Chains A and B, each alone.
Chain A
Amino acid sequence: MSEDIHEVAARWHTAQLNDDMDWDGFTAWLEADPRHRLAYDEIALLDARIDDVLPELAQPIEMPSTPARRLPRWAIGSGIAAAAAVAIAVGIGFQTSRPEAPAAREFASAAGSTRTVQVADGVTATLGAGSRLSAAATGASMRLHGSAFFSIRHDPTRSVTVEVGGYRIRDVGTRFTVNAADGVLSLSVEEGKVALQLPGQSTETIISAGQEALARSGAVSLRPVRIASIASWRQGRFVYDQAPLSLVAADIARYTGQPVTIAGSAASRSFSGVLAPGDRAAMVSTLTQLTGLHADSDGQTVRLVDRTGG
């Protein structure tokens, strides 16, 4: 039975991602036997060890390409049945399909989770929930939908460009996070400098470490930002300091995978506070309590409106 302790420990470990995790039950299990705690430590350390090398691990093994198995990302869901049928027909097991290759250099994160990918040598991106990044070819600019934290090693021979919602971000070696929705962009720089070009403009604004740029309607403003709260979603919460509510609504929509819109004057209001990741109802409820906004739902889309008309 002793080998099962680790499996039970791993069950508890994986269950803690759920909001309905039974923390009292977990405490009781830990108290029942000191070996439980040690087994849990081992599992937690192993999981962290895997997380440490996740970008490399998620990369496909270098092998001659087998086009039949290299499905584009969008085809994976519908392709499972087809792939299984093929496997049976040729008499080989399904387990021969390798960890899915990031075909066409398109990376996507699911709702409710972030994903770290190595885009190129020295370029790592952590995608916020429900975000997408495509990198067509080395040297070309990357296109982002949603939010991401980039870490780019300085290399004088190249410049990395990210396009998001019509904005262009050029960088030579830095760490920064970007979030864009509905024409509004927020960009915070943790280290180094980046150059931001607004849609339809040719001049660039330089943003340095410790600064946040907020851009909308053809104008950009800079202000200081706390380094510790940059891309706070990587630590499992959304921290906002005077953030446009349209970006907050977009974060909730991407995180939950369900539409949340914000209408009228409310969109340009700003918000300060912390949202814990959760389901849409919980996140919207916290937001409405903190802002006084009202949430209208038609069963599909939640619309946040300012009832006071102000």
Chain B
Amino acid sequence: MLRFLVARTGNPAEAEDLLQELWLRIRDAAPGPVANGRAYLYRAAQNLILDRLREARRREARDKDWSDTQAETVPGDRVDPQPQALDALIGREDVEVLRAAIAQLPEGAGRAFRLHKLEGLPHAEVAARLGISRSGVEKHIAVAMAHLRRRLEN
């Protein structure tokens, strides 16, 4: 697990810290045994890393907003420290941007992506609907994500 955390974060000290937090979380959250414990543990680690990553990005964005707006703010005024408020604001603008990008996905990838992501169908069900294999669905979704990333890069 530590090896995975080091590989995933690229930072041995952060990996150690994450491992600690992971054990704490699991101890607090799960009073009983868990089936397929390995996948559960890795997914929990992935969620934890993502949380930290998002927090770091938010902080960067806030610091930037702060320095961008500082000239016009009066002393005592602060940038809203609540991540939820900031997220909600970004969220509203983001919907249209994402919607437009999704509308321009290549046909097969777009269809698989919409069924899985927007409709919430599991891969196996998307596969059955489109008459392709599960790995074909995953390939489509990966192509869609890569497309979206490129489009949203700027």
Minimum CB–CB distance from A89 to chain B (whole Å) comes to 18
Q: What is the bound-complex CA distance between A37 and B99, given in angstroms?
A: 27
**CB atoms of B149 and A43 under 8 A apart:** yes
Instruction: Please give me the residue from chain A that is nearest to B7 by CB atom.
Output: A30
Q: Known interface pairs A7-B143, A110-B120. Does A276 touch B40 (Cβ–Cβ under 8 Å)?
A: yes
Per-residue interface assignment for chain A, residues 1 to 45, with 1 indicating a CB less than 8 Å from any chain B CB and 0 otherwise: 001101110110111111101010011001100100100111111
19 extra interface residue pairs, beta carbon distance < 8 Å, beyond A94-B111, A289-B33: A7-B146, A13-B145, A16-B43, A21-B42, A30-B4, A31-B7, A41-B53, A43-B149, A52-B91, A52-B94, A53-B94, A53-B98, A56-B92, A57-B118, A110-B122, A113-B122, A114-B120, A228-B29, A286-B35
Q: Does B75 contact A (CB under 8 A)?
A: no
| Segment at the interface with A among B16-24, B59-67, B134-142 | B134-142
Per-residue interface assignment for chain A, residues 49 to 68, with 1 indicating a CB less than 8 Å from any chain B CB and 0 otherwise: 11011101110010000000
Q: What is the bound-complex CA distance between A42 and B39, given in angstroms?
A: 22
Partner of A290, one of B4, B33, B99, B117: B33
Residues of A within 8 A of B121 (CB): 110, 113
Residues of A within 8 A of B30 (CB): 237, 239, 274
Residues of A within 8 A of B50 (CB): 44-45, 48
Partner of A45, one of B3, B54, B123, B125: B54
Q: Does B154 contact A (CB under 8 A)?
A: no
User: How many residues does chain A have at the interface if contact means C-beta atoms less than 8 Å apart?
Assistant: 73
**CB atoms of B40 and A46 under 8 A apart:** no
**CB atoms of A27 and B94 under 8 A apart:** no
Q: Does A296 contact B (CB under 8 A)?
A: no
**CB atoms of B149 and A275 under 8 A apart:** no
Q: Does B72 contact A (CB under 8 A)?
A: no
Q: Does A77 contact B (CB under 8 A)?
A: yes
Query: Measuring CB to CB, which residues of chain B are less than 8 angstroms from any residue of chain A?
Result: 3-4, 7-10, 28-40, 42-43, 46-47, 50, 53-54, 57, 87, 91-92, 94-95, 98-99, 102, 107, 110-111, 114, 117-125, 129, 138-139, 141-146, 148-150, 152
Q: What is the bound-complex CA distance between A100 and B98, given in angstroms?
A: 16
Residues of A within 8 A of B139 (CB): 11
**CB atoms of B35 and A46 under 8 A apart:** no
Q: What is the bound-complex CA distance between A38 and B124, given in angstroms?
A: 29
Minimum CB–CB distance from A62 to chain B (whole Å) comes to 11
Residues of B within 8 A of A52 (CB): 87, 91, 94
Q: What is the bound-complex CA distance between A14 and B113, given in angstroms?
A: 11
Q: What is the bound-complex CA distance between A274 and B39, given in angstroms?
A: 15
Residues of B within 8 A of A111 (CB): 122
Minimum CB–CB distance from A8 to chain B (whole Å) comes to 8
Within 8 A of B (CB), among A273-306: 273-276, 278, 282-283, 285-286, 289-290
Task: Classify the interface of chain A: helix, strand, loop or mixed.
Answer: helix
Within 8 A of B (CB), among A75-108: 77, 80, 93-95, 99-100
Q: Does A272 contact B (CB under 8 A)?
A: yes
**CB atoms of B10 and A34 under 8 A apart:** yes
**CB atoms of A45 and B53 under 8 A apart:** yes
**CB atoms of A7 and B142 under 8 A apart:** yes
**CB atoms of A6 and B149 under 8 A apart:** yes
Partner of A46, one of B47, B119, B149: B149
Residues of B within 8 A of A235 (CB): 47
Q: Known interface pairs A27-B4, A290-B33. Does A113 touch B146 (Cβ–Cβ under 8 Å)?
A: no
Partner of A115, one of B7, B95, B98, B120: B120
Minimum CB–CB distance from A210 to chain B (whole Å) comes to 17
Q: Does A109 contact B (CB under 8 A)?
A: yes
Residues of A within 8 A of B53 (CB): 41, 44-45
**CB atoms of B118 and A58 under 8 A apart:** yes
Q: What is the bound-complex CA distance between A56 and B148, given in angstroms?
A: 18
Residues of B within 8 A of A16 (CB): 42-43, 46
Q: What is the bound-complex CA distance between A47 and B8, given in angstroms?
A: 17
**CB atoms of B29 and A42 under 8 A apart:** no
A-B contacts, 27 of them at CB < 8 A, read A3-B146, A4-B146, A7-B142, A10-B141, A14-B123, A14-B141, A16-B43, A23-B42, A26-B4, A30-B8, A37-B9, A44-B53, A46-B145, A46-B149, A46-B152, A53-B91, A53-B98, A56-B95, A57-B118, A58-B119, A94-B107, A99-B114, A100-B114, A237-B30, A273-B32, A274-B34, A278-B35
